[in-house]
A and B are shown apart, each in its own frame.
Chain A
Amino acid sequence: MNTIDRHYQLIALLGSILAGFFLLSLFIGSNPIPVAQAVLDSMRDDPSVISLILTQVRLPRALIALVAGATLGVCGAAMQGLLRNPLASPGLIGSASGAAMGAVAVLYSGWSAAFWLALPAGGIAGSLLATLFVYLLAGRNGGTTTLILAGVAVNALAMSLISLMVNLAPSPYAVREMVLWMLGSIAHGSMADFWIMLPGTLLGWLMLVGTGRALDALTLGEETAITMGINLSRLRRRLFVATALAVGSAIAVTGAIGFVGLVVPHLLRPLVGHQPGKLLPASALGGAILLLAADIAVRLFPAGTEIKVGVLTSLVGAPFFLYLIVQSRRW
């Protein structure tokens, strides 16, 4: 069918844009390096400085942006589909603020200095904890509104705990650590960081595979979806666990990165004929593109003014989202 062809065309287009941005992000940095030479150097036994910049700085940075962006995009699309609300974000069910709370708690306690895995582990644990809390409050049988309200409440609780920890921080240095982490950045990500986030995000993605059909059915409302053979409580459980794992793992490494999960599905939805199922893969690609592009953009600011990528996405995302809402009021 024609429409199916169009969908594959869109996926192919997004895929090539993504590949382009990924390559571009390897080429752009504070110091120009001959990338071809660096690739050749990295294969030798005694790698040169430029090859180290490529493999130890730029490559992990690009990989983290790709995986984190794709995670935020696809989880945003899944949440919007589940709640049938274009204003839902992957963080709505507590995953992002929970991850932030976990990470800040680790920074507060000082464990992060003691062993390097503590920070991401704390983030993932916080994400799972907050999501579980939302699920127990409203996830099993509660209506959509209950779920959103529970998410708002748990997010507020997590944010207040973060404030409390910043407030009681043992040293100005710790405060700075926490605040900087919350701004969201992938500038200093290492390959180790990438490997830490990969299992959780991959597992989350795998759990999302095949949920598109159920999300399509949910277009007609929960009761009708049930009569179409969709097991709604199982779907909810699956999406909650997937989002908690994937978003938690990503945010634990990158820090808070806002609006990617909100804007990307919103932007791509008309291109897939508003079908929630088809929106999932498109949003994964779109999220990766957006975060890579944002991370490239922050490198273009003059050296010395280090703008965090999370600040940039929010700065650009919020007004853009407002614009989308005003636009969509036609419906």
Chain B
Amino acid sequence: MKLEGKELFQSLGGRPILKGVSVQVQEGEMLGLIGPNGAGKSTLLKLMAGIFTGSSNQILLDGRPFPEYPVIDRGRKIAYLGQEGTAHWPITVERIVALGRLPHLGTWQKPTEEDHSIIQRTLRQSGLSHLASRPYPTLSGGEKARVLMARALAVEPELLLADEPVAALDPSHQLEMMDLLRRHCDQGGSVVVVLHDLRLASHYCEHLQLLLDGDTLSVGTPDQVLTTENLDRAYGIKLRSDNLSITEAFALTWEHGSSRTPGVDN
């Protein structure tokens, strides 16, 4: 699926947040949204998810504007994982992941065999099989984040929008999570992910879009976006050492070790 938004505007509480940002996601692509706090990353993601209604923004899905799709169709094509995602009842991990199939089922439709196998496969791939019958509130913060990601993956969406999905995770699970997103793209899906870890961003994303103050400061490959000048303008940071190149500085210098995290079985 291809998503295209031109000159997007959005105000929240009377304050302009997005001031004419354009965004493009190609099929099979992972796009990383980066930028300082308050730059408008989450708002842009929500706009793409269709959470804000009634704005005059034009977002095209495969060339057709958003409103032409019935909401339920959008629910099947696009999955959204919010920054403050949570489950409000102490329901089990398996049932939360099963909610991902909800957009595919009619009001009285029971989950099919295929739905069940997707749920089980997603649990397995997310390393959550051993937690399947645990109530959500008994999980750790990182486990919760992975469960909510598994719910989004179980939608089997064409486009997955994830807002800081690795914020609560340890280094190993950060890699697991990014690998899951990567696999989603390798299978033909697209991902837009908000990240604060620039090394993960430059390692996993084909393209980065650097937002600053509701506008795009730079968009392109990680090398094109993560320049000394952009880093200073957007974040007000610079490299400590002149001997280190930007590419070296943002290289992901670790990977999975020989003792994998318990519970992960892929």
Contacts and interface: CB of A to CB of B under 8 A. Distances in A.
Interface of A: 1, 4, 84, 210, 213, 216-221, 223-224, 226-231, 269, 273-276, 331
Please report whether the interface of chain A is mostly helix, strand, loop or mixed according to DSSP: loop
Given A216-B102, A221-B86, A331-B90, A227 B107 contact: no
Interface in B88-117: 88-92, 95-96, 99, 102-103, 105, 107-108, 110-111, 116
B142 interface: no
B74 A219 contact: no
A226 B50 contact: yes
A73 to B, nearest CB: 18
A223 B148 CA distance: 13
Contacts of B86: 220-221
B76 interface: yes
Contacts of A213: 102, 105, 107
Nearest to B80: A227
Looking at A217, A219, A276, the one whose CB has the most chain B CB atoms below 10 A away is: A219
24 contacts: A4-B110, A84-B89, A213-B102, A213-B107, A216-B99, A217-B99, A219-B89, A221-B86, A221-B88, A223-B46, A223-B51, A224-B81, A224-B85, A226-B49, A226-B50, A228-B102, A229-B72, A229-B73, A229-B75, A229-B76, A230-B75, A273-B91, A275-B89, A275-B95
Contacts of A275: 89, 91, 95
B261 to A, nearest CB: 25
A213 B109 CA distance: 10
B10 to A, nearest CB: 14
Given A1-B116, A221-B88, A227 B78 contact: yes
Given A226-B50, A276-B89, A210 B78 contact: no
B252 interface: no
B99 A223 contact: no
A216 B151 CA distance: 13
A210 B107 contact: yes
Interface of B: 46, 49-51, 70-76, 78-82, 84-92, 95-96, 99, 102-103, 105, 107-108, 110-111, 116, 135, 137, 148, 151, 155
A221 B85 contact: yes
B90 A221 contact: no
A182 to B, nearest CB: 33
Looking at B76, B103, B137, the one whose CB has the most chain A CB atoms below 10 A away is: B103
A110 B239 CA distance: 83
Contacts of B91: 219, 273-275
A219 B107 CA distance: 16
Looking at A210, A218, A229, A331, the one whose CB has the most chain B CB atoms below 10 A away is: A229
Given A210-B108, A227-B49, 12 more contacts: A84-B88, A219-B88, A219-B99, A220-B85, A220-B151, A221-B82, A224-B80, A226-B50, A227-B75, A228-B103, A229-B72, A276-B89
A226 B47 CA distance: 12
Given A227-B78, A231-B71, A217 B51 contact: no
Please report whether the interface of chain B is mostly helix, strand, loop or mixed according to DSSP: mixed
Contacts of B137: 331
A266 to B, nearest CB: 12
Nearest to B84: A221
Contacts, number: 86
Contacts of A228: 75, 99, 102-103, 155
Closest 10 CB pairs of A and B: A229-B75, A229-B72, A84-B88, A227-B80, A274-B89, A274-B91, A229-B71, A228-B75, A227-B49, A210-B107
A230 B76 CA distance: 12
A187 to B, nearest CB: 37
A269 B151 CA distance: 22
Contacts of A223: 46, 49, 51, 80, 82
A220 B99 contact: yes
Contacts of B49: 223, 226-227
Contacts of B108: 210
B50 to A, nearest CB: 6
A273 B92 contact: yes
A223 B78 CA distance: 13
A210 B72 CA distance: 15
A227 B72 contact: no
Contacts of B74: 227, 229
Contacts of B82: 221, 223-224
A276 to B, nearest CB: 7
A25 B122 CA distance: 51
Nearest to B100: A228
Contacts of B76: 229
A213 B104 CA distance: 12
A227 to B, nearest CB: 4
A273 B88 contact: no
B165 to A, nearest CB: 13
A276 B89 CA distance: 9
A225 B2 CA distance: 23
A47 B91 CA distance: 54
Contacts of A219: 87-89, 91, 96, 99
B102 A274 contact: no
A313 to B, nearest CB: 25
Looking at A4, A216, A274, the one whose CB has the most chain B CB atoms below 10 A away is: A274
Looking at A1, A228, A273, the one whose CB has the most chain B CB atoms below 10 A away is: A228
